[in-house]
Amino acid sequence: MKAILALEDGRVFKCRSFTGDGEASAEVVFNTGMSGYQEVLTDPSYSGQMVTMTYPLVGNYGVNTEDVESDRVQVAAFLVREYQAAYSNYRATQSLRDYLKAHNIMGVEDLDTRALTRHLRNTGAMRGFLSTRVLDPEVCVQKARELPTMEGQDLASRVTTPTAYRWRDGQPVFLESDCPLDHGLWTNGNGRFTVVAFDFGIKYNIIRCLENAGCEVVVVPAATDARTIRAMAPDGLFLSNGPGDPEPVTHVVATIRDLLGEFPMFGICLGHQILGLALGGTTYKLKFGHRGINQPVQNLDNGKIEVTSQNHGFVVDIDSLKHQAVEITHVNLNDGTLEGFRHKELPLFAVQYHPEASPGPHDAHYLFANFINLIKDHQSHA
C-alpha cells in the first residue's frame, strides 16, 4: 500500500506500508543498531517518535515474548528499508508485521532510509507526518508543521506506571491502588537491598539487572513525592530512563532535590538529566540525538573506552556541572558531551547511556555493582 512520509522542512519520502492502512505523526529519529528492533519498539524512551533503522533488512528473526522492554509498542511508527516477512528464529512467536498490527502501529518499507538518515543527521531530528490516506505532499508537509515540538513536553508522565509494582519472576506484580507505599512493602525477609525505582519510562531489563545485582525492587510512578519515599525507607533510589525533554518534569526535579543526601541514588538517561537539574545544571537538545548500540564513551577514572547503548535527544550541559562538588566521570568521544558524573559529598552517580543494554554491549554492566557498593558504603557510615 502506497504511503508518504513528509518532514516539516518540506522533504518528502515515498514508501509503502506493510501493515495496511494508517497514519502517524511524531518526531522522526534514526537508530544505528543492526539488531534489537523489538527492544527498540518497546522502549518507552521512544514514546512520541517515529524510528527509522539504518540497518536495511528488518524483520528476519521475527518477534518473541521475551525481548520486550515494556508492556506495549511505544514508537509512533516504524520506518525500514526492507521488511522481511519470512522470519526464522527458534524463539520467534510471530512476524514483525503481525506484532505491529496487533498494537495498531504503522510500519513502512521501500523507504530510502539512507537518504532519510543523512537528512536528519545534517538538519536535525524533526517533526513528520506519515500516511497511506493523504498522498498530497503539500498537505502532508503542512500536517507535519502543525505538530507540537518535543521541547517543553512532559512525556514521562505519559509513560510512567499508574500504580506501583514489585518485580516477581520476571513480571511486574501491581500493588492494589489503595495500598499505602510504606515500610510494610519490605517484609521479604531475604536480606536483599531494597530499592525504589522512579518510573519515567523504565525498561524491564533495568529491573532485571537491579534484581540480579541483589536488589528487591519496587517501581513507583514518576509523581511519587518525597514524603512517600521517606515512608518507604528504601536502601537506595534508582532514577530510570524516559522520553523527551527533562526540563518540564519540574515536580520530579523538586522531589529529587528534596531527597538529595538521604538515600544513595543511581540515575540513567532521563534519570541522569533529572539528577543534573537537581544539582543546579542545565540541559539542551542535541541536533539528532544518540540512538544506537555503538556509542563510544570514555571512563575518565581509568581511561578505558566503553561501547554503549544509547537513546536520548537531550543532554546535561557539561559546563553547567563543572563545580567543586561534582566530578565528571564519563564523556562521549564522538561529540564530547557529558555521559556520567558523581557527587563528591553526596551518595549519588549517574550516566547518560544504558548499562542494561537490551539491545547492545555489556561494557557498562559494572555500574549496577557500583550502585550496590554505594549502598553498602552509605550504610557503613550511617
Residue 209 annotated in active site: no
Other CB atoms within a 10 A radius of the CB of residue 307 amount to 15
Catalytic residue among 8, 269, 272, 378: 269
CA distance 253 to 155: 14
Crossing angle for the helix pair 366-380 and 204-212, to the nearest 10 degrees: 50
Catalytic residue among 290, 312, 330, 354: 354
Residue 247 annotated in active site: no
C-alpha cell, 294: 555503538
Residue 215 annotated in active site: no
Q: Where are the beta strands (DSSP E) in the chain?
A: 2-7, 12-17, 23-31, 49-53, 57-58, 77-79, 82-83, 106-109, 126-131, 165-168, 171-174, 193-199, 215-221, 236-239, 265-268, 283-299, 305-316, 326-332, 338-343, 348-351
C-alpha cell, 19: 501493515
How far is residue 69 from each of residues 34, 65, 91, 215, 325, measured CA to CA in Å?
A: 18, 10, 16, 19, 35
Asked whether the beta carbons of 74 and 159 are under 8 A apart, the reply is: yes
**Cα Rg for the chain, rounded, in angstroms?**
21
Asked whether the beta carbons of 37 and 149 are under 8 A apart, the reply is: no
Q: Are strands 126-131 and 23-31 parallel, antiparallel or unpaired?
A: antiparallel
Catalytic residue among 8, 39, 339, 356: 356
- Residue 99 DSSP SS3: helix
Residues serving a catalytic function are: 269, 354, 356
